[in-house]
Structure 1
């Protein structure tokens, strides 16, 4: 994996801030304010924002500042419908190609989810819940499928930030564990059913039909940039910057 550039880190920090619900839907993203913490030009900021727009996380256009996307309820329902279909396919592929190492990888991630929940760190819990699904898609070893699942999971995190109920990830850990148990036992249809049911429950928790206000920008980006650089130094950077992993 290549070392992220400052522009990559700006993209990753913005993406992570949106997924962790630090930057709420509708938050303005002025180019000068974004570029400051990373020491990058407005041209590079625009490139990062274009990548986020392709991910469905940012809206740009005209002379106004880019903003964190604000999907409608109908758009949100469409996103979840497509996500359920793709995640069913992910589970089938992973089950067909199951390896004991898959179980170790997934259980290790679930332990991280449990630790974050017990610590009461809702921000990290939200991110880890999303990353479970991306990790499962990585195990399918299909870059195209991974790209689409990554985008849809990210957009669902944005939807949770806009409409979701507080503590909406509380049930996710047990639901994730049930899916892994079925995969480990080779029960394809049960695993598919559990995943479909789980994503349906996420949708129910997400679409609360009441918008939530989001926070501000500069200090948030600096914090996320520091976290990403620390993860990079430890070899545990949260999101892959390779084009194939982004489905581009």
Structure 2
């Protein structure tokens, strides 16, 4: 049975998802009192939640300053993508070695979800699903540390794209994900790595600054995401693998 989620867990998952889906943009202030009010938490617990997100590179929480969604520099962004390419290549190698027919069915089902989100015009879900394809693939590697690190790097890439990127192209992502699945199913690690390199490279090339996005309303975003997380059931909150123990 899954361990019941704490309020800190719920807050972390909701804030992380809001950042990944670009509902909370880089630089958005995250006042402790407002977050605490939404999740029924003390400042101590809010700080614990923000500290976990800071460790993932998604939040900038400095002493005596209001925390904010992180704003990585272009140099930091380049370094993140360098690490991501290395991790993605190793994930592909391990998945090819451990390949099972059910992996293909799972990944293809995920691509169908991406296609459905595109058909609905649901941009925020499309962005999240594009990243989750890679975290699902990492989970199939059988290496928990690789899964954890790649999940964090993929989340950071979503943040970088919110800050510097051109609009997300779901058509390209879906097509490229399908090509990667075909190479994995064929057991061709070299081809799968080439396709993954091209795919990650195309994501990185969208890193162009755009400062015209409107400032989001933190209260409205927290209400939406907290409600969605809680409606799934407190026992089913998706937590990061090998995450640090949350404050109770």
Which bin holds the TM-score, normalised by the shorter protein?
over 0.9
TM-score by length of 2: 0.93
Report the equivalent of 2:50.
49
Cα deviation for residue 232 of structure 1 reads 3.5
Task: Structure 1: state its 5+ residue gaps.
Answer: none
Matches within 5 A, 1:89-238: 89-205=90-206, 207-213=207-213, 214-232=215-233, 235=236, 237=237
CA deviations over 1:77-118 (Å, ceiling 9, x no partner) = 110011011100000000111000101111111111000011
Aligned-partner SS, 1:171: helix
Distance 1:219 1:61, change over 3 A: same
Report the equivalent of 1:85.
86
Asked if 1 retains the 8 angstrom alpha-carbon contact of 2:5 and 2:234, the reply is no
Cα deviation for residue 197 of structure 1 reads 0.7
Number of equivalences: 244
Cα deviation for residue 212 of structure 1 reads 4.9
Aligned-partner SS, 1:165: coil
Report the equivalent of 1:240.
239
Distance 1:190 1:212, change over 3 A: farther
Asked if 1 retains the 8 angstrom alpha-carbon contact of 2:22 and 2:124, the reply is yes
Report the equivalent of 2:21.
20
Asked if 2 retains the 8 angstrom alpha-carbon contact of 1:129 and 1:172, the reply is yes
Asked if 2 retains the 8 angstrom alpha-carbon contact of 1:25 and 1:70, the reply is yes
Aligned-partner SS, 1:200: helix
CA distance in structure 1 between the aligned counterparts of 2:69 and 2:85, rounded to whole angstroms? 24
CA deviations over 1:145-179 (Å, ceiling 9, x no partner) = 11110110000000111111123444101111110
Cα deviation for residue 241 of structure 1 reads 4.5
Task: Structure 2: state its 5+ residue gaps.
Answer: none
Asked if 2 retains the 8 angstrom alpha-carbon contact of 1:26 and 1:68, the reply is yes
Cα deviation for residue 211 of structure 1 reads 3.5
CA distance in structure 1 between the aligned counterparts of 2:196 and 2:51, rounded to whole angstroms? 32
Asked if 2 retains the 8 angstrom alpha-carbon contact of 1:7 and 1:48, the reply is yes
Distance 1:193 1:97, change over 3 A: same
Asked if 2 retains the 8 angstrom alpha-carbon contact of 1:58 and 1:69, the reply is yes
Asked if 2 retains the 8 angstrom alpha-carbon contact of 1:137 and 1:146, the reply is yes
Asked if 1 retains the 8 angstrom alpha-carbon contact of 2:13 and 2:239, the reply is no
Asked if 2 retains the 8 angstrom alpha-carbon contact of 1:52 and 1:58, the reply is yes
Distance 1:232 1:193, change over 3 A: farther
Please report the RMSD computed on the Cα atoms of aligned residues, expressed in angstroms.
1.8
